[in-house]
Amino acid sequence: MSLAAAAAYCIASRLTYVLFAGIALRRQERSEAYTRRWGIAGGFQRFRRVAMVLMVNDVLAFALLCVVTRGTLHLDVPRGILIATGVALIVLGVSVKVWAAATLGGDAYYWYNFFAPPAKQHVVLAGPYRYLANPMYTVGYLQAYGFALIIGSLAGLYAAAFLQLAILVFYYAVEKPHFERLNGSRTSRAD
């Protein structure tokens, strides 16, 4: 597979994921597109199934790009240091993401509050949310950079930045406004 094809697949995969999630969640919020037709549980499960497939595809597309472009990162740093740094970034990123998901619960990982908004304000200030406003999309993305370092993929580093930028745009355009509507704009610690 060529660099161009792998890069196009990675970009298309990320855009499909964030655009699907953004459009579907906005439709759900504005007109209850899922819950009106299938109820809360059924609507959420339909959305979650598609979102999960797109998330997995997104990870595979990124990994493929890194593998196709392995060995293209040339730095004046010993390979062992790059690998150790990559492993540290993966451990830190995955740990924070798992900690954040455990703090919020599994359904929150798939934006359950768009389908069943809490009866009262719900701001999470536990776990990593005590320290970071958005651990999932900030520190929780370090593993992408770490994987690219381990593989030695320059395109992978650029792709990791693109993936993170795209999810942060999604956060500011879709998640944060939703959270603020649910909880008031006084805080936006977790969604």
Average pLDDT for residues 10-21, to the nearest whole number? 98
Total count of residues recorded for the chain: 191
pLDDT value, residue 34: 95
Whether residue 191 is predicted with pLDDT greater than 60 in this model: the reply is no
CA–CA gap between residue 120 and residue 33 (Å, rounded) = 23
- 110 band by pLDDT with thresholds 50, 70 and 90: confident
pLDDT tens digits for range 22-62: 999 999 999 999 999 999 999 999 999 999 999 999 999 99
pLDDT value, residue 33: 94
Average pLDDT for residues 152-176, to the nearest whole number? 97
Helix, strand, or coil (residue 153): coil
pLDDT value, residue 74: 93
* Residue that wins the pLDDT comparison between 176 and 124: 176
Whether residue 8 is predicted with pLDDT greater than 80 in this model: the reply is yes
| Cβ atoms of residues 83 and 149 within 8 Å | yes
Average pLDDT for residues 153-175, to the nearest whole number? 97
Q: State the SS3 of 69-133.
A: CCCCCCCCCCHHHHHHHHHHHHHHHHHHHHHHHHHHCHHHHCCHHHCCCCCCCCCCCCHHHHCCC
pLDDT value, residue 66: 97
Whether residue 187 is predicted with pLDDT greater than 60 in this model: the reply is no
Written as six digits, the tokens of 137 are 């999309």
Rounded to two decimals, the pTM is 0.88
Average pLDDT for residues 151-174, to the nearest whole number? 97
